[in-house]
Chain A
Amino acid sequence: MNEFSLVLLAASVVATAAPILLASLGETLTERAGLINLSLDGTILLAAMAAFAVAHDTGSVALGFAAAAAVGGAVAALVGFAGVVLGVSQVAVGFVLTLMCRDLAYFLGNPYSRIQGPQVPPLPVPGLADLPVLGPVLFRHNAVVYLSLVLIPALWWVLYRTKWGLEVRAVGEHPEAAYARGIAPRRVQMVCAVVGGALVGLAGAAYSLALKPGWGRPQGAEGIGWIALALVIFGGWHPVKVALGAVLFALLQVAGIPLQEAFPSVPAQVFQVAPFPLMIFTLLFMGLSQRESVERWAAGRPWARRLVRAFRGAAPRALGRPMEGG
């Protein structure tokens, strides 16, 4: 592979990673506050449909993105309301919403199937776009891609360098203790749910208005929500590690296309499911790395200890558990 095609590959990985980054980082914020939003897969589809329908009817891509964010925020608010306020199982509500939002998207989106609509215009950054290598890889994309890239340091900074981020993490670890210190845990959780959900919604719009423009059944983004949920675990609930996982996953997706051309006898669908066994293996690796026996084995081997440490990441202790009393 020559240098030129490597640059192209890197650029297309960055573009492919954008929606996955938006969804997995949004979910990272939500889960850091102790709330698990399992509805991602359906939310992405419903938001993608809403974004395309609104952009098509109004002719405004910006309104499409606003609609997607609103849909994502609304679904997440429902999960938050049921889980945080009513104390209903968050897994149950999230799972039902995954299925229902998907069917709702197919039903409401039926008239918009396979028609032309507006898409996000490319927006090269003046000056930076002309840099060798870095220019085409990072600075000749559309606004959604830039947003997804800026989100990585932004979420890290918010979570670890601001007072509000400290409160979010405190609520995720121990909402009752946070309450005793004068924080309103339910309000923090609702805010994180809605903001995280809005980002998930933007991921949907990134599909239907940028990466795979258009709407249809199937849309092509099916399964991404589940990948994003797994990426949050893979990244140990740390935004930078989650982002790294998202980029790796995008690399796999992009690499799948030449692989498919190299092995034409293997049906395309087989490559499409390839990420899922990989997801199981990484989760298995992470699960095993938490074991005491593995830790003892790694103790005498510096490289193994580093590897185990890199993979370790503890879930927020109150994840999925509503606050008691208060």
Chain B
Amino acid sequence: MRTRAFEILAAAGLVLAFTTGVLLLTGAPPLEAFALLVRGSFGSVSKLARVLTVWVPLTLCACGLIYTFRIGLWNIGVEGQVILGAVGATWALRAGAGHVPPGVLLALAMAAGVLLGAGWSLAAGVLRTRGGVNEIFAGLGLNFVAQGIVLWLIFGPWKRPGVASMSGTVPFPPELWLPNFSWGRLSPVALGCAVGALVLTAWLLGRTRVGLFLRAVGGNPRAAHLLGLPPERYLLLAMALAGGMAGLAGVIQVTAVYHRLIPAISSNYGYLALLVTMLAGFRLGPVAPIALFFAGLNVGSVQLPMALQLDSSLSGVIQGASVLAVLLAQGWGVHRARRQA
């Protein structure tokens, strides 16, 4: 317990020192930048609502990643799965607008997004199990393809009448938006989805045989096969679950945040969720607070360019440095224990 506390303190110190160094290198005042990050994210109720709108997709993606990490897969394709979820939702809303009652249509859009996200993920899974293509490269390649699909749709078949532009497709009518809280730009449905994903994942992994089997296959595929667990089927199940949750994140980006399809619809949340899951030590427990911390950094950093003429990518530097510091601190702990033994 004492070494764990020491690791966390050491990692936090490393991150703080590193970030301060980076800020000093650009000649920016570090204290002011840090204060801006905190005030810009948790300074008011509406800012908190904005942080939570980022927290929702991050949490959804991170929950999905817990399944794939448990079985030993590097599902770098979450980014593309988010995008395909958004494409699925947009497609359903465009196809059904005016024909189907809004409430039903929104439910159909969610189903379409989840299915498309899961399908995109299964494509990477099948390439891995049947084609021998490493899931890192399959997922990554599919991410770029998904980005290409979105751009093609926005500039081609789904372009605004007249001019196609980077601002995206025509916004949907307000009856096809997920409802908002009165106090900020945050949808209770989106929040419910994220909390639901946390509960579902905790239940599936902790209370059902699925979680046990995923861990068994991840630990030793050959032994699991001998015990009668088909590794391929569980690999694909984990991929489908991850892709479905990422797809739902994409649906929410369309129906609750942007109300249309935009080129940057995934906002890199898939990659960021990978960092969240890594920082959580591949366990579900710390996912929610770490996702909140990351979401706060993302929202807070939006102010940096205007207030201090700094690039908003500072949040990414802090997020990356945090994960790196924890990995190094853990490794250092193991290394020291091994040398003393």
Q: Do A and B come from one complex?
A: yes
Residues of A within 8 A of B (CB): 38, 82, 85-89, 91-93, 95-97, 99-100, 102-104, 106-111, 217, 223, 226, 229-230, 233, 265-267, 269-270, 272-274, 276-277, 279-280, 283-284, 286-288, 290-291
Is B217 located at the chain interface by the 8 A CB criterion?
A: no
Q: How far is the CA of A269 from the CA of B310 in the complex (A)?
A: 28
**Cβ–Cβ < 8 Å partners of A104 in chain B:** 22, 313, 317, 320
Q: How far is the CA of A167 from the CA of B124 in the complex (A)?
A: 36
Taken residue by residue from 289 to 326, chain B's Cβ proximity to chain A (1 for < 8 Å, 0 otherwise) reads as 00000000000000000000111011111011101100
* A to B CB contacts below 8 Å, 8 in the list: A86-B328, A91-B136, A100-B324, A276-B142, A276-B145, A280-B127, A283-B133, A284-B131
B324 touches A93 (CB 8 A): yes
Q: Which of A82, A95, A290 meets B331, CB within 8 Å?
A: A82
B327 touches A99 (CB 8 A): no
Q: Which of A103, A108, A287 meets B25, CB within 8 Å?
A: A108
A100 touches B320 (CB 8 A): yes
**Cβ–Cβ < 8 Å partners of B134 in chain A:** 233, 283
B137 touches A283 (CB 8 A): yes
Is B332 located at the chain interface by the 8 A CB criterion?
A: yes
**Cβ–Cβ < 8 Å partners of A291 in chain B:** 132
Tell whether A290 pairs with B132 under 8 Å between CB atoms, given A96-B327, A273-B145: yes
Is B330 located at the chain interface by the 8 A CB criterion?
A: yes
Of B132, B144, B309, B330, which is in contact with the most chain A CB atoms at under 10 Å from its CB?
B144
Is B201 located at the chain interface by the 8 A CB criterion?
A: no
B contact residues, total (Cβ < 8 Å) = 48
Q: How far is the CA of A202 from the CA of B64 in the complex (A)?
A: 38
A107 touches B148 (CB 8 A): no
Distance to closest chain B CB from A317 (angstroms): 16
Is B76 located at the chain interface by the 8 A CB criterion?
A: yes
**Cβ–Cβ < 8 Å partners of A286 in chain B:** 132
A88 touches B132 (CB 8 A): no
Q: How far is the CA of A96 from the CA of B323 in the complex (A)?
A: 7
B145 touches A108 (CB 8 A): no
Q: Which of A103, A276, A290 meets B317, CB within 8 Å?
A: A103
**Cβ–Cβ < 8 Å partners of B321 in chain A:** 100
Is B141 located at the chain interface by the 8 A CB criterion?
A: yes
**Cβ–Cβ < 8 Å partners of B133 in chain A:** 280, 283-284, 287
B148 touches A99 (CB 8 A): no
Q: How far is the CA of A269 from the CA of B156 in the complex (A)?
A: 12
B278 touches A92 (CB 8 A): yes
**Cβ–Cβ < 8 Å partners of B44 in chain A:** none
Tell whether A288 pairs with B147 under 8 Å between CB atoms, given A86-B328, A270-B152: no
Distance to closest chain B CB from A233 (angstroms): 7
Closest A residue by C-beta to B143: A276
B311 touches A280 (CB 8 A): no
A107 touches B311 (CB 8 A): yes
Given contacts A104-B320, A226-B137, A233-B134, 4 further A-B contacts (CB under 8 A): A86-B332, A276-B144, A280-B141, A283-B134
**Cβ–Cβ < 8 Å partners of B34 in chain A:** none
Is B284 located at the chain interface by the 8 A CB criterion?
A: no
A/B pair count, beta carbons within 8 Å: 140
Is B26 located at the chain interface by the 8 A CB criterion?
A: yes
Q: Which of A88, A95, A111 meets B26, CB within 8 Å?
A: A111
B137 touches A287 (CB 8 A): no
Is B42 located at the chain interface by the 8 A CB criterion?
A: no
Give chain B interface residues in 6-40, CB to chain A under 8 Å.
22, 25-26
Distance to closest chain B CB from A57 (angstroms): 13
Taken residue by residue from 260 to 283, chain B's Cβ proximity to chain A (1 for < 8 Å, 0 otherwise) reads as 000000000001001100100000
Q: Which of B127, B155, B309, B320 meets A97, CB within 8 Å?
A: B320
B334 touches A87 (CB 8 A): yes
Is B242 located at the chain interface by the 8 A CB criterion?
A: no
Q: How far is the CA of A93 from the CA of B329 in the complex (A)?
A: 12
Is B237 located at the chain interface by the 8 A CB criterion?
A: no
Tell whether A288 pairs with B76 under 8 Å between CB atoms, given A86-B332, A88-B330: no
Tell whether A95 pairs with B76 under 8 Å between CB atoms, given A107-B311, A111-B26, A287-B132: yes
Q: Which of A86, A100, A279 meets B137, CB within 8 Å?
A: A279
B141 touches A284 (CB 8 A): no
Distance to closest chain A CB from B11 (angstroms): 13
Is B51 located at the chain interface by the 8 A CB criterion?
A: no
Distance to closest chain A CB from B232 (angstroms): 15
Tell whether A107 pairs with B310 under 8 Å between CB atoms, given A96-B320, A100-B320, A273-B145: yes
**Cβ–Cβ < 8 Å partners of A266 in chain B:** 152, 156
Q: How far is the CA of A316 from the CA of B256 in the complex (A)?
A: 48
**Cβ–Cβ < 8 Å partners of B274 in chain A:** 95
Is B335 located at the chain interface by the 8 A CB criterion?
A: yes
Is B170 located at the chain interface by the 8 A CB criterion?
A: no
Q: Which of B74, B76, B151 meets A269, CB within 8 Å?
A: B151
Q: Which of A107, A272, A288 meets B131, CB within 8 Å?
A: A288
**Cβ–Cβ < 8 Å partners of A283 in chain B:** 131, 133-134, 137-138
Is B195 located at the chain interface by the 8 A CB criterion?
A: no
Q: How far is the CA of A267 from the CA of B227 in the complex (A)?
A: 52
Is B140 located at the chain interface by the 8 A CB criterion?
A: yes
Closest B residue by C-beta to A272: B148
Closest A residue by C-beta to B309: A110
Q: How far is the CA of A217 from the CA of B274 in the complex (A)?
A: 23
**Cβ–Cβ < 8 Å partners of A96 in chain B:** 275, 278, 320, 323-324, 327
B316 touches A103 (CB 8 A): yes
Tell whether A273 pairs with B26 under 8 Å between CB atoms, given A86-B331, A95-B274, A287-B133: no
B132 touches A97 (CB 8 A): no
Q: Which of B22, B140, B147, B335 meets A108, CB within 8 Å?
A: B22
Closest A residue by C-beta to B334: A87
Q: How far is the CA of A164 from the CA of B310 in the complex (A)?
A: 46
A108 touches B26 (CB 8 A): yes
**Cβ–Cβ < 8 Å partners of A287 in chain B:** 131-133
Closest B residue by C-beta to A289: B132
**Cβ–Cβ < 8 Å partners of B315 in chain A:** 103
